[in-house]
Chain A
Amino acid sequence: MLNQTYETGPKKPGALQKTPTGIVGLDDITGGGLPKGRPTLICGEAGSGKTLFSLEFIVRGATEFNEPGVFMAFEEKAEELATNVASLGFDLEQLKAGKKLRVDYVHIDRSEIEETGEYDLDGLFIRLGYAIDSIGAKRVVLDTIENLFSGLSNQSLLRTELRRLFHWLKEKGVTAIITGEKGEGSLTRQGLEEYVSDCVILLDHRVINQISTRRLRIIKYRGSVHGTNEYPFLIDEEGISVLPVTSLKLNNNVSTERIPSGIVQLDDMMGGKGFFRGSSILVSGTAGTGKTSIAATFANATCQCGEKCIYFAFEESPNQIMRNMLSIGMDVQKHVDDGLLTFYASRPTLNGLEMHLVAIHKQIKKHKPQAVILDPITNLITVGSVSEVKSMLIRLIDFLQEEQITVMFTALTLNNIVNEQTDEGVSSLVDAWLKVSDIEFNGERNRGLYIMKSRGMKHSNQVREFVITNNGLELIDVYLGPDGVLTGSAREAQQMHEETGKVIYNHGLSRKDREIERKRKALEAKIATLQSEFESVEEELNKVYVEEELVKEVAEKTRLEMTKLRGGNDTDNMNDKKSS
């Protein structure tokens, strides 16, 4: 139901026509503006911004919608009014010269006026009518018509005349704003809401815990659907901006584009690509776990891709962050100089929560970044309750998703209930949640990083050791040994231990090799000895054999010699010997 009225489709015939105010955000809440051709009552306490609100309506009408307007002031003189709004960049004189605006100051001073007998306010009607007709005005503001009641004593006559006035304004077909000061127990002191029944907007300026917040609420809007919440609004150098508190739809575009986190290993944990564009990332952890470093690294990575980033710092000043990041080898200053990175630092207590939200909105609208960092959101707790902070963040995330801006929040986790709630509150909203935790072991603290969740992508469920080095952030696989997860020096000790083991093992191996070699050598030596032994035996044997031959030969010779010497037929003997 609600969605439809927020869409700018063709108007249904007979539906209430609306006049856009041009005030940032208000037209969203009212679904197009104030009821066209009817009076609207703006009420609120003194200093709640009624005059400015109505004047902006007139000025925007004249400058943006080409609808001239008449501002009838009962409180401030035209010159005063012009001076008061000059600081907002509204040049009333120029508009007056261009016949776009007419300011009519109605001076009512009881001391100068005597009443006697019957009268009516035709003078006012004529004056207003003349002003309207002279510039063809479509918009009229009466600020604050209740002053008539203090200037004149015939109250019942005034009431009838006012009723007639509003009726007359409707007949004139002008879109009018009537302002009224808030009274005790009623919206306006004089009960103007009785007469203006089409649209009533209440402005409020509240101070809670010494922090002021301006809010706006549409009390009634006849014939139109409208946002019913209290909407914070901001008055700054560009006029009023109203923040639609909650986007009523949940149909944001999504992107499948991935953007790097700035930590290579973290991207690896998420399938090697990083975060989704337009997603929201929560980095939570206890004090000193490096949340800001992660955030700054992300900002750095975004800027290195040539994209814009706004860093909302609620804890540290920009210079402090820049100095600190330089110590881990990250020069964010150059991105600031290049205009890619914008720091917006403010103390949480500077504004109410809603004001922060409006301020963030404005910055984002102005710079149009691709990524936004809020560091840390937990500091906002100081200015609002947990549920308020949560609802603020919901609205912020809504808004950012609509704009396809990636946002990274950091949140401080203490071991108390309040902040755990914050975690819970936000964690259901965010798309990715990185948790940096202290792993206290062996007399030292080390950082471990988990991806608690990461919607729509594969991600590692393993803890990584998160190390801050001189060259940035690194994630190291933790040691998973028989004794469980080891980090820090324990991990290093374990690694060393393992390395020692390896050396010893290697050493062992080579010893065995040498042993074998030695054995082989020994055996080879033995073989050589045996060989030489064999050779000597062989030689011995050969020697005997040769000697025997020699002896035999010598004996034969001797025998032949002997036979010869005996004379005879040494030839026969020879033959005999041979034959035998």
Chain B
Amino acid sequence: MEEVKEDTWELRLYVAGKTVKSVTALKNLRKYCEEHLQGKYQIEIIDLLEQPQLAEGDQIFAIPTLVRKFPEPIRKIIGDLSNEEKVLVGLNIRAVKSAL
């Protein structure tokens, strides 16, 4: 699993201002990453209220949306990420973990 270590997970979280949902989502995301991807992840937070032009590029229509830019393929998870199981399946972290 050396390869995985070398590759950093690029995660992007789209939010619109500091809403309850956004804050919850970010909190949840940080927690899962710390648990499962410690040291090899990178979270980028994009506030669409400040940069609305970025919404089109990643096909964002729901808030909050988590986009896994890397590894490919791109995956999207919408919602406040409250269901850990679903998030892990969605990001395909489970598979990585079991391989570990």
Contact = CB atoms under 8 A, between A and B. Distances in A.
Interface of A: 104, 106-108, 112-124, 126-127, 129-130, 148, 152
A118 B21 contact: yes
Interface in B37-91: 48-49, 52-53, 55-56, 59-65, 73-83, 86-87, 89-90
Interface in B1-59: 14, 16, 21, 24-25, 28, 48-49, 52-53, 55-56, 59
Given A122-B16, A123-B48, A130-B52, A115 B78 contact: yes
A130 B63 contact: no
Nearest to B77: A114
Nearest to B74: A112
A126 B76 contact: no
Contact of A126 (B24, B55, B82, B83): B55
Interface residues of B, number: 34
B63 to A, nearest CB: 4
Given A112-B74, A117-B24, A119-B63, A127 B55 contact: yes
Closest 10 CB pairs of A and B: A114-B90, A117-B82, A130-B52, A117-B80, A117-B79, A122-B63, A124-B61, A123-B60, A116-B86, A127-B55
B9 to A, nearest CB: 16
B65 A123 contact: yes
B65 to A, nearest CB: 6
A387 B52 CA distance: 57
Given A114-B77, A121-B62, A126-B55, 13 more contacts: A108-B59, A112-B73, A114-B78, A114-B87, A114-B89, A116-B87, A116-B90, A118-B79, A119-B63, A122-B48, A123-B48, A123-B55, A130-B53
A114 B61 contact: no
Nearest to B83: A116
Nearest to A114: B90
Given A117-B82, A118-B82, A127 B62 contact: no
Contacts of B73: 112
A415 to B, nearest CB: 68
Nearest to A106: B61
Contacts of B25: 117
Contacts of B81: 116-117
Contacts of A116: 77-83, 86-87, 90
Contact of A120 (B21, B59, B83, B90): B21
B82 to A, nearest CB: 4
Nearest to A129: B52
24 contacts: A107-B59, A112-B73, A112-B76, A113-B76, A113-B77, A114-B86, A115-B77, A116-B83, A116-B87, A117-B80, A117-B81, A119-B21, A119-B62, A119-B63, A123-B14, A127-B48, A127-B56, A127-B60, A129-B52, A130-B52, A130-B53, A130-B56, A148-B61, A152-B62
A130 B86 CA distance: 31
A118 B60 contact: no
Most B Cβ at <10 Å: residue of A107, A121, A123:
A123
A119 B87 CA distance: 14
A123 B89 contact: no
A244 to B, nearest CB: 39
A107 B56 CA distance: 10
A565 B83 CA distance: 210
B72 to A, nearest CB: 12
Contacts of B82: 116-118
Contacts of B24: 117
A497 B97 CA distance: 121
A104 B80 CA distance: 26
Given A114-B89, A116-B86, A126 B77 contact: no
A159 B1 CA distance: 45
Nearest to B20: A118
Nearest to B16: A122
Contacts of A127: 48, 52, 55-56, 60-61
Contacts of B78: 113-116, 119, 152
Given A108-B61, A112-B75, A123 B16 contact: yes
A124 B77 contact: no
A108 B61 CA distance: 9
A26 B98 CA distance: 63
Contacts of A117: 21, 24-25, 28, 79-83
Contacts of A120: 21, 62-63
Contacts of B56: 104, 127, 130
A124 B58 CA distance: 12
Contacts of A152: 62, 78
Contacts of B80: 116-119
Contacts of A119: 21, 62-65, 78-80
A137 to B, nearest CB: 14
B63 A121 contact: yes
B21 A123 contact: no
A106 B61 CA distance: 8
Nearest to A134: B53
Contacts of B21: 117-120
B55 to A, nearest CB: 4
Contact of B79 (A115, A121, A123): A115
Contacts of B65: 119, 123
A165 to B, nearest CB: 11
A115 B77 CA distance: 6
A115 B16 CA distance: 18
Contacts of B60: 123, 127
A343 B86 CA distance: 68
A113 B64 CA distance: 12
